[in-house]
Amino acid sequence: MTIRLAVAFALLLTAAYATAQDYPTRPVTIVVPNPPGGMNQIHAQPLSAVLEKLTGQPAPVVNRPGATGALGTAFVVGQQPADGYHILVTTPNLFLVIEKDKLYGVKSPFSLDQVQLLALLSADPLIMVVHPSMPVTNVKQLVALAKSRPNEIVFSSSGLYGILHTPVAMFLHAAGLTMRHLPTTGGGPAITQALGGHAQLTTGGPAAVYSYVRSGKLRAIASWGVKPHPAFADTPTLTSLGYKDVEAYLWVGLFTRAGVPQPTLIRMRELIGKAATDALFRQALENVHVVPDYRDEPEFRKFFDADYKRLAAAIKNIGKL
């Protein structure tokens, strides 16, 4: 009887793997939990094109914005079957919204145990920029000015506790500074406030700030990476300036609902690996100064956990606002 069960199990496992190799047999929806535009869209569109080429199946990109990405995330990991036919493209906002909700005792619309990591696509460091009217060209001068004018300098962000607010708060805590926060509705509006002089400082991914820095409309003075970004090779990192544990990235990763059968999950990761290393996908990112940085689930998990730990600590330091 034991031998029969073992044989039956082996046959079922073989059938499952055979079925997984046929994945996908219908369209795979790529969900962006934000309005059109921005970093998630930059990655989702070429990913869609390459997956369609690899699989012969449509891979439509669907935008489901709301609540700093929480609604679109909850749609994928809480409302769709665990079958691998919905892929979420998102940033650290995935866990920042959970940490924010913890501060206020609010139940988040999803939990991390509902989330299956698939792969990292890129991990560009955030870039600190100031309006050219600011009489500073480096971090040392910024710190001196901010200390002489406590709570007078205004910095803009994409929203409270988001990926553009939390790193600045992390830096302010490390440097012992106070500034006024101007939250907006997204990364684009945050930069617009700085361009207009309504905020004197902001941050953004290299893709978002590159053209403004190059044209002189904004001035780059620091990076949150451990090494300089190629498009900002002369911009020092905060780490190199002696600030410890002040590291933050506007990374973009792929996720799905936890519970996808292992054979299907393996096939998904295989296809994503081929797509993320495809010349078309890489060129689409490089065209907007995003550095491709594909990492399969095990390596992505290490990066994800370390980033989560840093940013969760920063949110606790910010506290309730």
What pLDDT, in 10s, does the model give residues 66-118?
888 999 999 999 999 999 999 999 999 999 999 999 999 999 999 999 999 99
pLDDT band at 6 (very low <50, low <70, confident <90, very high): low
User: Taking the CB of residue 280, how many other CB atoms lie within 10 A of it?
Assistant: 12
What pLDDT, in 10s, does the model give residues 246-274?
999 999 999 999 999 999 999 999 999 99
Using CA of residue 89, residue 91, residue 92, residue 97, what is the dihedral sign? negative
Q: Yes or no: say if 81 and 264 are a contact pair by the CB < 8 Å rule.
A: no
- pLDDT for position 10: 47
Distance CA(134)–CA(10), nearest Å, equals: 68
- pLDDT for position 3: 67
Domains in the chain, please, with CATH?
Answer: 26-124+249-318 (3.40.190.150), 127-232 (3.40.190.10)
Q: Could you tell me where the beta strands, DSSP code E, fall in the chain?
A: 29-32, 61-63, 86-90, 115-125, 127-130, 154-157, 180-183, 201-204, 219-223, 249-257, 292-296
User: Taking the CB of residue 18, how many other CB atoms lie within 10 A of it?
Assistant: 10
The whole-number average pLDDT for the span 216-221 is: 98
Q: Yes or no: say if 232 and 127 are a contact pair by the CB < 8 Å rule.
A: yes
Q: Yes or no: say if 32 and 45 are a contact pair by the CB < 8 Å rule.
A: no
Q: Yes or no: say if 177 and 151 are a contact pair by the CB < 8 Å rule.
A: no
Burial-class residue 195 by CB neighbours within 10 Å (0-12, 13-18, 19+). Answer: middle
Facing residues of 204 across strands?
127
Strands 115-125 and 249-257: antiparallel
- pLDDT for position 7: 54
SS3 label, residue 124: strand
pLDDT band at 245 (very low <50, low <70, confident <90, very high): confident
The whole-number average pLDDT for the span 165-177 is: 95
Q: Yes or no: say if 88 and 31 are a contact pair by the CB < 8 Å rule.
A: yes
Check pLDDT > 80 for residue 155: yes
